[in-house]
Amino acid sequence: MQAPKEFLDWFRAEIRQRGWSLRETARQAELSPSTLSDLLVIGEQPSLETCKGLAKAFDVSPILVLELAGQLPKGDKPVGFDEWMGLIEGVPPEEVRRMIEIARTMRGQAMAKAKKK
């Protein structure tokens, strides 16, 4: 899966703004340089861990990075975000996507039920 263009543009701009090399960015994010190279060269979809590392390095909200990466819908700030992050930490990306889809389905059902009342 490819990373959204918006994410890649943001990522490049953050590195450029700071004047960091790829190695320095990886060090700040506590990620391997090859992981970040795959993002920039191949446009690979970033994992949850990569998003968390970039948020730390660039001192921004993990929610922002996850939204830009297409991992969370924009503007849909989840309640209990820290709890969700704890639940999905270490879970393979395909399973995280499945968990998100299940949560979206349940949310849709709850919203439909609320409208009927």
Q: What is the pLDDT along the chain (117 residues), one digit of tens a residue?
A: 789 999 999 999 999 999 999 999 999 999 999 999 999 999 989 999 999 999 999 998 888 898 899 887 776 555 566 667 777 777 787 888 888 888 888 888 888 777 776
CATH superfamily of the 5-116 domain: lambda repressor-like DNA-binding domains (1.10.260.40)
Query: In degrees to the nearest 10, what's the CA dihedral of 109, 115, 81, 47?
Result: 50
Neighbour-count burial of 85, counting CB atoms closer than 10 A to its CB (0-12 exposed, 13-18 middle, 19+ buried)? middle
DSSP letter (8 states) at residue 72 = S
pLDDT of residue 77: 55
DSSP letter (8 states) at residue 2 = B
pTM, to two decimals? 0.65
Q: What residue has token string 């001192």? A: 59
- Domain extent listing, the chain: 5-116
Contact of 27 with 62, CB cutoff 8 Å: no
d(CA 101, CA 36): 27
Contact of 57 with 25, CB cutoff 8 Å: yes
